[in-house]
Amino acid sequence: MKAGLRVSISLVLFFSLFAISTKVSIAENKSVVFKSTETPPYWSPTLPNNGLGGSILQLVSSTAGIEYSIEYLPVKRFRQSNAPYIVGDPDLLMDNKNRAIFPIGVFHSVIFYYKPHHEKFELHSLKDLQGYTLGVLRGTLEGKDSFVKAGIAVEESDSNESLLKKLQKGRIDFCIVVAGTGWYTIKQLFPESLENFGGMDIPDSARPIAIMIDKDITEGKALVRRYRQVLDGTLRSQEYFDILEEFYGKNKIPADRFQQLKSFEKYYSDTW
């Protein structure tokens, strides 16, 4: 083979490899757009750093060297979204996309009621809701038929605001809402009558706030590697603790919060 031809082939190979390398590098470092749904104080474009979830996402992503933005969708569109990058509750999504799920926080749900409509109420089992109407976000209640068979009417709404307005007007008797979101929304809608609302914690209702990434695309695989490398250390850092303490208040972080988060990490680690 002539020397000139060997040089030409070498240059072609070099530039081909350079182009491939550059493409991967750009893909790994371009800004990621996460889809979410507005659920303050966890996720909201009107809150500093997009709320609690946004603050944690910012911490984890900056540690991983990932630039991102968040696009907010209505609940119905969020549940139906098959976007490659999503943040929120994995259980809300309807599709079965092959995703890596990284838990970064925890929330739980509460059954809210309006005290002027109930002199006294205690909830020990579903039987206690018999004869009442229970409000839920559309599509979020599994086993709806079993509630109806138990004599519990179920009314769905497309927003937490709608649920709590119906509750205050007496159109529904109770509603299931994420605890922090419920109290935040009540404060916004009914600032003069907060004391008229009550909430009962639902046992074993803890769910993860999570980063979800499509593993079937090249960029997704790269992001999964980077988040996986930093997740454990970041969620046990002083910076993470400070974010939770600012949200809950000094010395008011729920005692079981870190154990619950660890359990979710273990459960979803197979997706990484």
Where a domain ends, among 156, 171, 201? 201
Residue range 203-210: average pLDDT?
A: 92
Separation in Å, CA 49 to CA 41, 154, 172, 236: 11, 35, 34, 20
CA pair distance 173, 169, nearest whole angstrom? 9
pLDDT exceeds cutoff 80 at 21: no
Residues 122 and 251 in one domain: no
Residues in CB range of 159: below 8 A, 6 or more apart: 75, 137
Average of per-residue pLDDT across 207-214: 96
- 138 and 122, same domain (yes or no): yes
The confidence score (pLDDT) of residue 30 equals 66
pLDDT of residue 29: 52
207-214 and 85-88 strand pairing: antiparallel
For the chain, give the percent of residues with pLDDT over 90: 70
Residue 74 shares a structural domain with residue 145: no
Tell me, yes or no, whether 215 and 241 share the same domain.
Answer: yes
Last residue of one domain, picked from the residues 201, 223, 255: 201
Residue 147 pLDDT class (50, 70, 90 cuts):
confident
Domain finish residue from 201, 225, 255: 201
The pLDDT, as a whole number, for residue 165 is 97
Task: Look at the chain and report how many structural domains it folds into.
Answer: 2
Return the pLDDT at 192.
Answer: 93
Do residues 85 and 33 lie in contact, with contact meaning Cβ atoms separated by under 8 Å?
A: yes
pLDDT tops 90 at residue 247: yes
Name the residue range of residue 127's domain: 109-201
Mean pLDDT over all residues of the chain? 87
Residue 193, in any domain of the structure:
yes
Share of the chain above pLDDT 70, in %: 88
